[in-house]
C-alpha cells in the first residue's frame, strides 16, 4: 500500500471538550479521504458508539476499519470481525469485586451491550456520553457467569485521584493478566492482556499491508500510547498528559484548537516538508 495511512482516536482527539467534531476537522478528514488516504478510527468506545460518531460526523467513511474497545474488537472495512477478545470470567469477577469493595462504579460490556447492576449517575452519564442504551441486571457477577461470552471490557468510573490509587493497586495485582489502562481521567479500562490499540493496528497493518512506522497516528490518552509508540509520525494532542506526550514524536495543538485539522492542513500543504 503506497497511500498515506491515518489513524485517529475519537474522544479528546477528533472530538473536542464539548464532545463535538468541528466543521474544520470534518473537512480536513474529508480532504485526505478524497485524496485516497487510508483511514482507521481507533477508539476505546463500544463498537456501536464508535459507529454512531462516524455516522454523525464522518458518514463518507462508511467503509473503513474500526478499532473499538481499545483493540478488543476490530472490524474490517467490509464489516467483518477480524479480531475480538474477552476477559476471563474469573478475572472479570475479581475486578468487579475489587471495584465494589472500594465503592467505585463498575460496568461491563458483553456482545456490544453496556451492562451494570447499579443504575447510578455514572452509568447514566456514560450512556449519554456514548449515545447508547444500557441494561441493569440484578447481579453483574452472576450475569457474567451465566453468559456464553466473557466481557469484552470492564470499565470503572470514579474521580481522578481515587482512580489513580485504584489503578496502581490493580496493576500490582493483575498487570500480568490484564491490560489496565486509562481511556479518560475518570475512566479506567480492563481488557484482555492481548488487547490494545497498538496490537490491533499491527493486525490491521498485516491485513492491509501498510507500514505502521509511516502512518500518521493521533491520540490523547493513556490508551493511545500503544499505538503512538509504533509510528514515526505520531501526534499527541496538546490536551494530553505529559506521559502520553512522551510516547509521541510530535505534539499537535489541543483538540479545542482543532489540532488534528491543523496538522492535516500542514501535511496537505506544499511546504510541509520544508
CB 39, CB 209: distance < 8 Å: no
3-class state of residue 19 by DSSP? coil
Beta strands 73-75; 66-68: pairing state: antiparallel
Q: Is 80 exceeded by the pLDDT of residue 272?
A: no
Query: For 182-188, what is the mean pLDDT?
Result: 93
Q: How many residues does the chain have?
A: 274
pLDDT per residue as tens digits for the range 58-91: 999 999 999 999 999 999 999 999 999 999 999 9
Q: What residues does each domain of the chain span? A: 5-84+195-268, 89-192
pTM for the full predicted model: 0.94
CB atoms within 10 A of CB 167: 16
Place of cell 456482545: 111
Residues 220-267: pLDDT tens digits? 999 999 999 999 999 999 999 999 999 999 999 999 999 999 999 999
- pLDDT over threshold 90, residue 153: yes
CATH number of the domain at 5-84+195-268, out of 3.40.50.1000, 3.20.190.10, 3.40.50.880, 3.40.50.10320? 3.40.50.1000
Q: Which CATH number fits domain 89-192: 1.10.240.10, 3.40.190.10, 1.10.3720.10, 3.30.1240.10?
A: 3.30.1240.10
Strands ordered across the beta sheet of 66-68:
81-84, 73-75, 66-68, 38-42, 5-8, 216-219, 233-237, 250-252
DSSP string, 127-141: HHHHT---EE-S-HH
Write out pLDDT tens, residues 100-147: 999 999 999 999 999 999 999 999 999 999 999 999 999 999 999 999
**Residue 249 confidence (pLDDT):** 98
Amino acid at each position: 500500500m503506497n497511500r498515506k495511512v491515518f489513524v485517529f482516536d475519537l474522544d479528546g482527539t477528533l472530538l473536542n471538550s464539548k464532545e463535538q467534531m468541528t466543521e474544520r476537522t470534518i473537512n480536513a478528514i474529508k480532504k485526505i479521504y478524497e485524496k485516497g488516504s487510508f483511514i482507521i478510527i481507533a477508539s476505546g468506545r463500544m463498537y456501536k458508539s464508535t459507529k454512531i460518531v462516524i455516522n454523525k460526523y464522518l458518514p463518507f467513511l462508511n467503509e473503513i476499519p474500526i478499532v473499538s474497545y481499545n483493540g478488543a474488537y476490530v472490524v474490517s472495512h467490509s464489516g467483518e470481525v477480524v479480531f475480538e477478545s474477552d476477559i476471563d470470567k474469573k478475572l472479570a469477577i475479581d475486578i468487579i469485586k475489587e471495584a465494589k469493595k472500594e465503592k467505585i462504579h463498575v460496568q461491563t460490556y458483553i456482545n456490544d451491550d453496556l451492562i451494570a447492576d447499579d443504575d447510578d449517575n455514572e452509568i447514566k452519564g456514560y450512556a449519554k456520553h456514548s449515545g447508547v442504551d444500557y441494561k441493569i441486571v440484578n447481579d453483574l457477577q452472576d450475569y457474567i457467569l451465566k453468559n456464553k461470552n466473557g466481557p469484552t471490557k470492564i470499565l470503572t468510573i470514579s474521580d481522578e485521584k481515587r482512580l489513580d490509587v485504584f489503578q496502581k493497586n490493580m496493576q500490582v495485582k493483575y498487570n500480568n493478566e490484564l491490560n489496565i489502562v486509562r481511556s479518560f481521567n475518570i475512566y479506567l479500562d480492563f481488557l484482555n492482556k492481548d488487547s490494545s490499540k497498538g496490537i490491533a493496528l499491527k493486525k490491521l497493518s498485516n491485513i492491509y499491508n501498510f507500514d505502521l512506522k509511516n502512518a500518521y497516528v493521533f491520540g490523547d490518552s493513556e490508551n493511545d500510547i500503544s499505538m503512538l509508540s509504533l509510528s514515526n509520525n505520531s501526534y499527541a494532542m496538546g490536551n494530553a498528559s505529559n506521559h502520553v506526550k512522551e510516547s509521541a514524536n510530535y505534539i499537535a495543538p489541543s483538540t479545542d484548537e482543532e489540532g488534528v485539522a491543523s496538522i492535516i492542513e500542514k501535511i496537505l500543504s506544499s511546504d510541509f516538508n520544508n
